[in-house]
Every structure is written in structure tokens, then in C-alpha cells.
Structure 1
């Protein structure tokens, strides 16, 4: 076994213990983890897009925004954190338009902040533990099988200009694996398996794969291989959570829509 492979395995085991442990404990522990992910994602985003090098005002504004959103996420409610996030994103968009600096700043604030808010909200919502574990099963199942099916079957490229290694066979195989893993998790947990569950899992799997492509597009746009070197053998935090955060975005949005339709938008953030 090569040194690099050994390092990747050790890092993966450590990360899995931290993430699954925090998920099981929930509460403040998981909220802190969610906030940390959001802050680290913003650090990587601002580095990749050049905000950290060329826009000192934007960098400071973004860090203040993210710090306050993280604080609300950990110590108050996800609803308040979301409203604050939307406010900062809008303010950053107006400032960026006025200063003609592009929209990487508001995009980074929104992407990073929503990563933290959606994760924390889903864990504290109804059936929070099962919701997060379901998302893990779908996203990780999709990610792992997409890689192996893509290498084994090959075929037409999914998005050759963005991520040349991804194939349609891998995407389809990953989606099927994500559906099976998600449904199996729900069945093993003793929860009722809804007829809609395979469709929900498929949609979340596709959302995760879009998130993966989105991060690949960002990196290709700015000519970087990894989002950072924070995780030995794995690159950066964005490299590891790109699919998960898009799936969480969609699940969180679904919870908000259900809560709004039921007249309980500010009573619960919802879940599956």
C-alpha cells in the first residue's frame, strides 16, 4: 500500500468518526460542525476565486457575514440564520454590482452560509438523525458507485468540459446505488418506507452529482486541482462536501416549502 493511499484511508476514517459522531450526538455538537463546514467552505471559496488576494473589503465583509451566520446557526435558530444569510447575500450583491467586482462574493456567502444553515436545520428538524443519515447514504452511495461503475463501464462523458472523468454510466449507476442505499437505510432504521422514497432519493442523488459538477466547474474556472490542502490526501472541505451540500440545499428547500404550505414556516425547518 502506497503512502498516499494509506494517508487517504486514515484521513477518511478520522473524518467519518468525527462526522458520524457529531451526527449521532446532534444538538450543539452538530451545529458546531455545520458552522465549521460553512466557515471552511468560505475560506476555500474566497481563496479559489481570488477574493482573498484582490478584494480586501470583500474578504472582510464576507468573513463578518459568515461569522454572524455561523453564530446564529449555533446559538439561535436556523430560521434566523437563514434570514441573516439572505440579507448579507443581497447586500453583497448590491455592493458587488456597485463596485463592479463580479458576483463571486455574494455567491460565496450564499453557498457557504447555506451549507451551514441547511445541515444544522435538517439535523434539528423532525426525524433529524434519520434525515441526515439518509442524505449520507444517498450521497455517499452515489459517489462511490458512480466512480466504480464509470471506470468499469465507461462510455459517453457526462460533462467533458467540466469534469472529463465522469461518464453517463457512472451517473446512472451512482443514482441507482444512491436510491438503494437510501431506501435500505430507512428500512433498517425501522421507519416506514414511502412509495415516494425512491423518487426522493433519486432527486437528491442527482442534486448531489450536480453539486459535484458545480465545484468542478469552479475549480476549472480558476485553474485549481483541489479546493485546498486542509484534509491530508483528500484536498479540501469543498472537495468532500460538494455533493452533500447540494443535496442538503434541496432537502432544506423542500422542508421550507412544506412548512410554508402548512403555515408553520417559522415553527419548524422540517426534514424528511
Structure 2
């Protein structure tokens, strides 16, 4: 076994252990994990898109915004996190409209800030949130693993050759089926029966995760980088590891918010949204 592969395996074991322990503990431990992911994602985003070169003030505003979002996530009122986040993104949009900042600036705050917020919101504070987070993990990880192996085994037409030449339609379909089965499997561990709502949500999150993977590939290709950073030995950067996860979390977050907004039911938490029907 090569040194690089050994390093990759050890890094993966440490990452999975940290994530699962924080997920099990919940509360402040998971909020620290979510906030840390948000800050590291912003670091990699700003580095890849060269925000400091385009506007020092914009770059500084981005960091102040992310620190404010994460600080409120850790110590502030949960009811104020989303309004604070929305206000900071809209504030960053104004200089972008005036041409003084790059549009990559507000996009980075949105992507990084929502990564932290949606992760924290899904986990919540109760055991239903723990089940919901495991549900998302199962969908994303099963999709990612099976998409790779099915795509390698079957091959066929490329999914998005200009963005990610290695991905195929067979891998995407195989990964989606695996993601749905993974989500249903987690649900069956907690409940005796599974409503049709569960595989529908799993399907939606699986597709969203694959879009997230393609989105990061697009950014890296756009700016000519191979990895988002070298923070994780053998794996590249944090964005390289969480691109699918955060998009799946975005999808779950917006599903819950949308469901409540149209008056179709009261949702106390994202866990209740995923498993409460």
C-alpha cells in the first residue's frame, strides 16, 4: 500500500470519527463542527476565487460576516441566525451591483454561511435531529460511493463532460438509487414503517448532493485549481469533502422552510420535517 493511500485512509477514519462523535453529542459540539466547516469553506472559496486580489475591503467584509454568522450560531439566538445571514448577504450584494466587488464575494458568504446554518439546523438539539442528520449522511455517502463504483463498472455517456469528465449517467443513476436505499435504511432503524415521503426526500437530497459535487467541480475548473486546498492530508480541501453534503443540507433546509411557508404544516425542526409525516 502506497504512503499516499495510507495517509488518505487514516485521514478518512479521523474525519468520519470526528463527524460522528460530534453528531452524536449534538448541541455545542455539533455547532462548533458546523461553524468550523463554514469558516474553512469560506477560506477555501476566497482563496480559489482570489477575492483578496479583487477587493481587500470585500475580502475583509466576507471574513467579518462569516465570523458574525458563526458567533451567532454558537452563542446567539437561533431565531436571529437566518435574518443576520440574509442581511449580510444582501449587504454584500450592493457593492457587487455597483461593480466595486466581485459577485463571487456575496456568493461565497451565501455558500459558506448557509453550509454552517443548514448543518446546525438539521442536527438541532434532540434525537429526532440526530436521526435526520444520519439520514442525510446515509443518502450523501451512499450516493457518492455507489456513483463511483457503478460509474467505473458500467461507464457509458458522460454526465457533464465539460465540468467533470469522470462522471457518467450510469454512476449518477446508481448513486441515486443507493442514496434512496441508504435513507430508507436509516428510517427503518428508527421507525417500523416508512412513508412514501421518505424515499422522495432521499431522492431529492441525493440529486442535490450530486449537483453540489458538479458545482464545486465547475468552480475549480473555472479558476484552474485541482483541489480546493491542501488542508486534509490525502484528500485535498474541506470543500472537496463536503460539496455534496452541504448541497443536500441546503435542499433539506429549503424544503422545510418552503413547506412551512406555504402553510402545509407546522414544522418544529428539520428532523420533524424529514420523519414527522
TM-score bracket relative to the smaller structure: over 0.9
**Conserved in 1, the CA contact under 8 Å of 2:48 and 2:220?**
yes
The corresponding residue for 1:66 is: 66
In the alignment, structure 2 segments of 5+ residues that lack a partner are none
Displacement of 1:147 after TM fit? Answer: 0.3
**Conserved in 2, the CA contact under 8 Å of 1:157 and 1:166?**
yes
CA distance, structure 1, for counterparts of residue 27 and residue 260 of structure 2? 21
Task: Answer with 256-265 or 190-199: which moved more.
Answer: 256-265
1:262–1:270 distance in 2 versus 1, CA, 3 Å: farther
Displacement of 1:78 after TM fit? Answer: 3.8
Displacement of 1:189 after TM fit? Answer: 2.7
The answer to whether residue 179 in structure 2 is matched with residue 171 in structure 1 is no
CA distance, structure 1, for counterparts of residue 243 and residue 212 of structure 2? 5
CA distance, structure 1, for counterparts of residue 153 and residue 259 of structure 2? 40
1:34–1:109 distance in 2 versus 1, CA, 3 Å: same
The corresponding residue for 1:95 is: 95
The corresponding residue for 1:205 is: 206
CA distance, structure 2, for counterparts of residue 172 and residue 82 of structure 1? 34
The corresponding residue for 2:82 is: 82
Question: SS of the residue aligned with 2:98?
Answer: helix
Q: How does 1:1-272 map to 2 (within 5 A)?
A: 1-124=1-124, 127-190=128-191, 192-262=193-263, 268-271=268-271, 272=274
Extract structure 1 runs of 4+ deviating beyond 4 A: 261-265
In the alignment, structure 1 segments of 5+ residues that lack a partner are none
Describe the superposition over 1:138-170 as per-residue Cα deviations: whole angstroms up to 9, x where unpaired: 000000000000011000000000000000000
Displacement of 1:82 after TM fit? Answer: 1.2
CA distance, structure 1, for counterparts of residue 265 and residue 106 of structure 2? 28
Describe the superposition over 1:9-67 as per-residue Cα deviations: whole angstroms up to 9, x where unpaired: 00000000000000000001000100000000000000000103332111100000000
Structure 2 length-normalised TM:
0.93
**Conserved in 2, the CA contact under 8 Å of 1:259 and 1:268?**
no
Task: Answer with 67-76 or 21-30: which moved more.
Answer: 67-76
Task: Answer with 179-188 or 39-48: which moved more.
Answer: 179-188
Describe the superposition over 1:206-263 as per-residue Cα deviations: whole angstroms up to 9, x where unpaired: 0000000000000000000000000000000000000000000010111212333459
Q: CA RMSD in A?
A: 1.7
Count, aligned residues? 271
1:259–1:79 distance in 2 versus 1, CA, 3 Å: farther
Displacement of 1:72 after TM fit? Answer: 1.0
**Conserved in 2, the CA contact under 8 Å of 1:142 and 1:176?**
yes
